[in-house]
C-alpha cells in the first residue's frame, strides 16, 4: 500500500527525526569500561567489537568507527582484532579536575545498516599527585608578649587526587615553643593551627624555623612540606644595661674647658626603637653649684665632658650618675655611677706661714746670744703647700751667705729649723742675713723664699724669751703664741704662790712659842749651815733643846762640824753660847738670819 502524505517542511523534519531515533534505538547498545589514568600507550581497555556483537570481518565493510566530542584521540579501536586500547596519555585531573567521577564518552558508529553504540570508559584515579601548599614558605610574625596557648592559623595543603588519595594528615617538626592542632570539618577541609606552648623571648631566640608536612592517604603515600618561619616581634621589655655598675675616672686638674674625660656605653638587647639609647645626667647639687655646671654628657654618644677646669684643691672627687633610657613605649632606663678623681698637679707654690713675718721687707729678726753652743735653734721657717702628695712635700735649704765652710748656721732639710752648726765666736759677724729656700717635690718644682735676720748679742742683752719681730704687726698665729706664753706664766705664778703659802703655813706652825717652862717633846734635830758646809746634830738622849726663857734671838751661831766624839749634849738653856773651857777651838760665824727649829711632829 502506497500512501501519499503531503505536508509542510516542518512536518517533514519532525518525521525524519523520529525515524532516526527509531533507528538509534533499534541498533544502539551501551558498554562500560574502566581504565586507570596515566596508563601507557597500547594498554588494553576492552574487546569492544565482540562486546557489541559485531563480526571482525564486517568491521571494515560497515565502516566501523569511534567518535568522541572532546577526547577522541585518547582511545582507539584495532579493526583487525576489535580491541579498544589507550592511544595517548590519560590524566584524570586534567579531564575531570576534582570531580568524584570521571568518564570518557565514546560513540561507535557502523553503517549498512546504520547503528550507533554508546560506550563509557571510566578513568580511575591513582595517587600520582603529592599534597601541595600554596607557598613554599609561610612567614608568621608573633609578638614576644603573646601568652601561651595562643593560636595562629596556617594555610593547609591541597591534593589534586580524589578519594583516599586526597585525604591529608599533618605533622609538625619537633619544637619547644610550638605544637600543631588540626580541626577536621571534613576530609577535604581541615583547619590547621600553630599553638604556642610557652612564652617567647626575642632576645633569647629572635626567630624559629619549623617544617609542616602533609601526607595523603594513597598507596604509596606522597608528602608535601612547607617551611614555617616564625619571626618574634620585639616588645620593650629590657632596660639599657651598662657593663659596670660604677666607673672610676682619673682626670688631671686644670684641664681645658670642654675636655672629653670618659665615655659611657649602655646596650639594649631589644630591637629597633626599643634599642635606641640616649644618655643624660642625673642632676644634683655639688656644693652650691649644679652638677651640670661641671660636666655634661652627649645624648647619643655617651661622651662625658668637663665644662670647666677642675681644681684638685677645691674638688678632689666628683661623684655623679648618668642615666641611659631607650625609646620604647613606655621607656625603660638605668643609671651608672661615675667617680671622677681630680688628680693633683703642681700648680701651687709653697706658702710661708705668717706668725713671724716682720722686719724690713717681710724678713724675720732674731736675737741670738753669742754664748750658745752648736745645735741651738735660732728660728723655724714654717710653710705649707695647698697641693697634695709629692707636690706638697716640702724641703728647706739655706742659701749660702758666704763661701766659708765654717758658716755658723744651717737649716733642717724637712723641719725648717735654723740652728747653729758650732759655737759662736767673737770673730763671727754680728749680723747675718739668711735666705731660706722652700721647695716642693713636684715637676717642675715650685719654691718660695724666707729671709731671716740674725743678730748676735752679748749674754746680758739677749732677751729671756724668744726674740720679737722687728715690727709690731703680728699675724693671727703670733697672737695665739703670745696668749699661750701668758697662760703658762699665769699658771706658774699661781703654782708658786700656792707653794709659798704652804711653806709659810708650815713655818708659822713650827715657830710658835713653846709652853711655859718646857719644850716640845720628842727628839729634835738642829740643822746648821756655814760657808764650809752644813751639818745636823741629833740629840741621842732625852734632853731639853730650846732657846731659853726669853724671846728668840735673831743671831744664829754656826760652828765647824769638827766636834769631839765625847761631846754628849749641849744645854742651851744654861748657856747662851758655848764655853771655851771645854778646850775646843771654835771659830764663830755670825749670820744675820732667822733661827728655825725643825721638830719631828
pLDDT digits (tens, 9 = 90+) for 36-93: 888 888 899 999 988 888 888 888 888 898 888 777 688 889 888 989 999 888 888 8
Region of poorest pLDDT, from 119-133, 174-188, 382-396 = 174-188
Per CATH, 139-233 and 351-474 having the same topology is answered yes
What's the pLDDT score for residue 101?
87
The DSSP code sequence of 223-265 is EEEEEEEEEEEP-S----EES-SEEEEEEESSPPTTEEEEE--
User: At 188, is the pLDDT very low, low, confident or very high (cuts 50, 70, 90)?
Assistant: low
User: At 371, is the pLDDT very low, low, confident or very high (cuts 50, 70, 90)?
Assistant: confident
Helix (H) or strand (E) holding 36: strand 30-36
Percent of the chain having pLDDT more than 90?
41
User: At 475, is the pLDDT very low, low, confident or very high (cuts 50, 70, 90)?
Assistant: very low
Q: Please report where in the chains the cell 686644670 appears, as a residue.
A: 254
Query: CATH classification of 139-233, choosing from 3.60.15.10, 3.50.50.60, 2.102.10.10, 2.60.40.60?
Result: 2.60.40.60
Question: What radius of gyration do the chain's Cα atoms show?
Answer: 69
Which is nearest to 315 in space by CA: 392, 253, 255? 253
Percent of the chain having pLDDT more than 70?
73
Q: Report which of residues 188 and 579 the model is more confident about.
A: 188
Helix (H) or strand (E) holding 490: helix 476-510
What's the pLDDT score for residue 10?
56
Asked whether residue 596 carries a pLDDT value surpassing 80, the answer given is: no
Q: Please report where in the chains the cell 656644693 appears, as a residue.
A: 287
Q: Please report where in the chains the cell 616581634 appears, as a residue.
A: 233
The domain 241-343 belongs to what CATH superfamily?
Cadherins (2.60.40.60)
User: At 460, is the pLDDT very low, low, confident or very high (cuts 50, 70, 90)?
Assistant: low
pLDDT in tens, 520-578: 444 444 444 333 333 333 333 333 333 333 444 434 343 334 444 343 333 333 333 33
What's the pLDDT score for residue 12?
56
For the entire predicted model, the pTM comes to 0.54
The DSSP code sequence of 501-570 is HHHHHHHHHHTSPPPTT---SS--EEEEE-SS-EEEEE--SS------SSPPPSEEEE--S---TT----
pLDDT in tens, 248-299: 999 999 999 999 999 999 999 999 999 999 999 999 999 889 999 999 999 9
Asked whether residue 328 carries a pLDDT value surpassing 60, the answer given is: yes
What's the pLDDT score for residue 461?
59
Q: How many CB atoms lie within 10 A of CB 39?
A: 18
Mean pLDDT (the chain) is: 78
Asked whether residue 508 carries a pLDDT value surpassing 80, the answer given is: yes
CATH 3.40.920.10 fits 351-474, yes or no: no
Per the CB < 8 A criterion, the answer to whether 254 and 345 are in contact is yes
Give the domain ranges of the chain: 28-124, 139-233, 241-343, 351-474, 519-601
Burial of residue 416, with CB atoms counted within 10 A of its CB: 0-12 exposed, 13-18 middle, 19 or more buried? buried
Asked if the bond preceding 113 is cis, omega within 30° of 0, the reply is: yes
pLDDT in tens, 292-325: 999 999 999 999 999 999 999 999 999 999 999 9
Domain range 28-124, CATH class: mainly beta
Amino acid at each position: 500500500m502506497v500512501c501519499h502524505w503531503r505536508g509542510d517542511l516542518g512536518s517533514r523534519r519532525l518525521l525524519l527525526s523520529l525515524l532516526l531515533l527509531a533507528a538509534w534505538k533499534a541498533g544502539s547498545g551501551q558498554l562500560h569500561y574502566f581504565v586507570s589514568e596515566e596508563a601507557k600507550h597500547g594498554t588494553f581497555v576492552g574487546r569492544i567489537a565482540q562486546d557489541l556483537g559485531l563480526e571482525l570481518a564486517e568491521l571494515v565493510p560497515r565502516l566501523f568507527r569511534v567518535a568522541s566530542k572532546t577526547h577522541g584521540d585518547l582511545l582507539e579501536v584495532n579493526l583487525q582484532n576489535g580491541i579498544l586500547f589507550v592511544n595517548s596519555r590519560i590524566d584524570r585531573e586534567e579531564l575531570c579536575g576534582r570531580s568524584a567521577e570521571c568518564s570518557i564518552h565514546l560513540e561507535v558508529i557502523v553503517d549498512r545498516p546504520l547503528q550507533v553504540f554508546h560506550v563509557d570508559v571510566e578513568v580511575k584515579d591513582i595517587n600520582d599527585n603529592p599534597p601541595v601548599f600554596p607557598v613554599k614558605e609561610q612567614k608568621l610574625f608573633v609578638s614576644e608578649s603573646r601568652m601561651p596557648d595562643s593560636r595562629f592559623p596556617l594555610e593547609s595543603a591541597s591534593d589534586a587526587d580524589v578519594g583516599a588519595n586526597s585525604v591529608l594528615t599533618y605533622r609538625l617538626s619537633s619544637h619547644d615553643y610550638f605544637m600543631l592542632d588540626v580541626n577536621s570539618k571534613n576530609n577535604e577541609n581541615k583547619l590547621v593551627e600553630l599553638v604556642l606552648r610557652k612564652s617567647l623571648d626575642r632576645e633569647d631566640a629572635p626567630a624559629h624555623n619549623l617544617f609542616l608536612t602533609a601526607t595523603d592517604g594513597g598507596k604509596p603515600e606522597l608528602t608535601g612540606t612547607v617551611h614555617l618561619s616564625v619571626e618574634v616581634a620585639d616588645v620593650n621589655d629590657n632596660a639599657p644595661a651598662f657593663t659596670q655598675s660604677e666607673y672610676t675616672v682619673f682626670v688631671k686638674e686644670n684641664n681645658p674647658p670642654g675636655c672629653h674625660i670618659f665615655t659611657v656605653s649602655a646596650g639594649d638587647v631589644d630591637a629597633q626603637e626599643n634599642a635606641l639609647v640616649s644618655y643624660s645626667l642625673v642632676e644634683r647639687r655639688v656644693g652650691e653649684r649644679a652638677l651640670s655646671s661641671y660636666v655634661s654628657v652627649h645624648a647619643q654618644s655617651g661622651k662625658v665632658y668637663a665644662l670647666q677646669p677642675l681644681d684638685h684643691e677645691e674638688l678632689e672627687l666628683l661623684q655623679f650618675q648618668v642615666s641611659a633610657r631607650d625609646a620604647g613605649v613606655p621607656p625603660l632606663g638605668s643609671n651608672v655611677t661615675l667617680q671622677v678623681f681630680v688628680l693633683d698637679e703642681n700648680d701651687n707654690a709653697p706658702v710661708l706661714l705668717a706668725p713671724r713675718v716682720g722686719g724690713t721687707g717681710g724678713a724675720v729678726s732674731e736675737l741670738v746670744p753669742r754664748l750658745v753652743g752648736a745645735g741651738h735653734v735660732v728660728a723655724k721657717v714654717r710653710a705649707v703647700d695647698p697641693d697634695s702628695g709629692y707636690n706638697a712635700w716640702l724641703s728647706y735649704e739655706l742659701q749660702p751667705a758666704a763661701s766659708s765652710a765654717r758658716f755658723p748656721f744651717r737649716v733642717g732639710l724637712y723641719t725648717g729649723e735654723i740652728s747653729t752648726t758650732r759655737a759662736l765666736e767673737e770673730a763671727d759677724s754680728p749680723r747675718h742675713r739668711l735666705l731660706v729656700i722652700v721647695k716642693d717635690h713636684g715637676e717642675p718644682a715650685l719654691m718660695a723664699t724666707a729671709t731671716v735676720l740674725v743678730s748676735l748679742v752679748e749674754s746680758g742683752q739677749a732677751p729671756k724669751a724668744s726674740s720679737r719681730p722687728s715690727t709690731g704687726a703680728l699675724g693671727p698665729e703670733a697672737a695665739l703664741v703670745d696668749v699661750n706664753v701668758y697662760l703658762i706664766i699665769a699658771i706658774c705664778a699661781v703654782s708658786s704662790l700656792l707653794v709659798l703659802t704652804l711653806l709659810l703655813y708650815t713655818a708659822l706652825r713650827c715657830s710658835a712659842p713653846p709652853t711655859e717652862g718646857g719644850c716640845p717633846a720628842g727628839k729634835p734635830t738642829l740643822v746648821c749651815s756655814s760657808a764650809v758646809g752644813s751639818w745636823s746634830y741629833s740629840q741621842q738622849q732625852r734632853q731639853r733643846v730650846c732657846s731659853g726663857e726669853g724671846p728668840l734671838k735673831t743671831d744664829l751661831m754656826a760652828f765647824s762640824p769638827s766636834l769631839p766624839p765625847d761631846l754628849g749634849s749641849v744645854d742651851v738653856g744654861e748657856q747662851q753660847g758655848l764655853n771655851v773651857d771645854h778646850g775646843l777651838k771654835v771659830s764663830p760665824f755670825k749670820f744675820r738670819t732667822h733661827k728655825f727649829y725643825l721638830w719631828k711632829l
